[in-house]
Amino acid sequence: MAVTIRDIRAILTCPGQVNLVAVKVETSEPGLFGVGCATFTQRAKAVVTAVDEYLKPLLIGRNVNEIEEIWQLAYGHSYWRNGPVLNNALSGVDEALWDIKGKMAGMPVYELFGGKVRKGVAAYCHCDGNSKEEVLEHLQGYMEQGYRYVRVQQGAYGGMMNGGTMKNGAGPLIDPDTIRFFHVPEGAPQGAYFDPKRYMRKTLEMMDYLRNKAGFEIELVHDVHERLAPIDAVAFAKEMEQYRLFFLEDILSPEQISWFRMVREQCATPLAMGELFNNVNEWMPLIEGRLIDFLRMHLSQIGGLTPAKKLAGAAELFGLRTAWHGPNDITPVGVAAQLHLDLASPAFGIQEFAGFTENEKAVFSGCPEFRDGYLYVNEAPGLGVDIDEEAAAAFPYKVYDDAWLFSRLPDGTSVRS
């Protein structure tokens, strides 16, 4: 007799600094359930609604073994598709079903993908500072922890100022220092201001300083966060070539990917792209043209493990590598899902990792562990991470400071973050 879906529910919790969404799928088999990640922290409540009001009634009673069938059905059922809210909702169910399948098989999920091709997953962390000297100090601290790959940033993305001061929910303030620093016009609106040209100069100075002080043995990553005009991105990638980055991340926005060909033709700086993509087909021109080196996506943003494993296969065939998006706006179960794919994929490149707070570890048992530069799953059947719903309820949804999303150029023009 087939094991079927008995219940689906979204669990919204905030045990760290951002709102997280997990999805629990319960089955007709007593005690058998799965947990997946559906975190779209900027629109967390919309994802909860999509799970509870739309996916739940659609999927109850369906065979839990038919993961591909369920994914295709749910993906097309809304008719309008490819959006982050629905993709995250679908990811929560998809990852939970892989968790269930692993438990039914008595195996970790990586075994279902063909087994390990590596014993541990190399990770990189985020390192920043308000000056190049402070960045170096923090970098050396991470190196002492065992990290061999580190993303380095001086200041916030784009070197912006006043990205975190809120007033009556209206966005970041402009104070006199900002006005003087960026020479903004009279009556300039509130916003998180940044100067692309200054950002490029300061970042190149930082990279030169770090390489002179820390050498070339440590692998460095840098994230532009799509904050440059396309032609400036081309020039910046060329200048960064001398510092031998492991990769340069998101130098262009998803709307401007045609410029990658010009970058590729002019320099050999390794490139990573895709954090903001929603549909796996958005990568295809970049994959087929071999215009980037690392596929970088938020797994729940594209719909979970089912599409991600297909992208990993495409990366392998075209000589590209994966670098899944892994900041703090992902649940520990989402981190585990990435790691199971990392362990089994020949196309693996590197895994971003932001660590777990003590509260997150109290809510999510079985969190992956970091040891001397590598991440390890706990080898339990399924994804290996569970959620304590009572503990999760102790950390309710909260409105947090998202001022960094109010990005503006020095003349006050609103731009994407």
Residue 235 is given by DSSP the state H
Query: Amino acid identity, residue 338?
Result: Q
Q: Which residue has the tokens 């999303």?
A: 405
Q: How far is CA 20 from CA 123, 190, 333, 366, in A?
A: 22, 28, 11, 17
Q: Give the C-alpha distances (Å, rounded to integers) separating 96 from 46, 100, 321, 337, 383.
A: 19, 6, 25, 10, 9
Tokens describing residue 319: 């000589």
Concerning whether 225 is annotated as a catalytic residue, the answer is: yes
Q: Which residues contact 179 (CB under 8 A, 6 or more apart)?
A: 188
Instruction: Please give the angle made by the CA atoms of 162, 163 and 169, to the nearest 5 degrees.
Output: 100
Which residue matches tokens 């598709």?
81
Question: Cα 376 from chain centroid?
Answer: 18
The HSE-up count of residue 406 (CA atoms within 13 Å, CB side) is 21
CA distances from 29 to 33, 36, 51, 162 (A): 8, 18, 21, 53
Other Cβ atoms less than 10 A from the Cβ of 106: the count is 9
d(Cα 59, Cα 62) in Å, to the nearest integer? 6
**136, 207, 339, 305 alpha-carbon torsion, rounded to 10°:** 140
- The end-to-end CA distance of the chain, in Å, is 51
* Type and span of the H or E element at 20: strand 20-27
Given 126, 222, 225, 325, which residue is catalytic?
225
Please state, in angstroms and rounded to a whole number, the distance separating the CA atoms of residues 37 and 269: 33
State the catalytic residue, choosing from 142, 157, 193, 374: 157
Q: Catalytic amino acids?
A: 157, 225
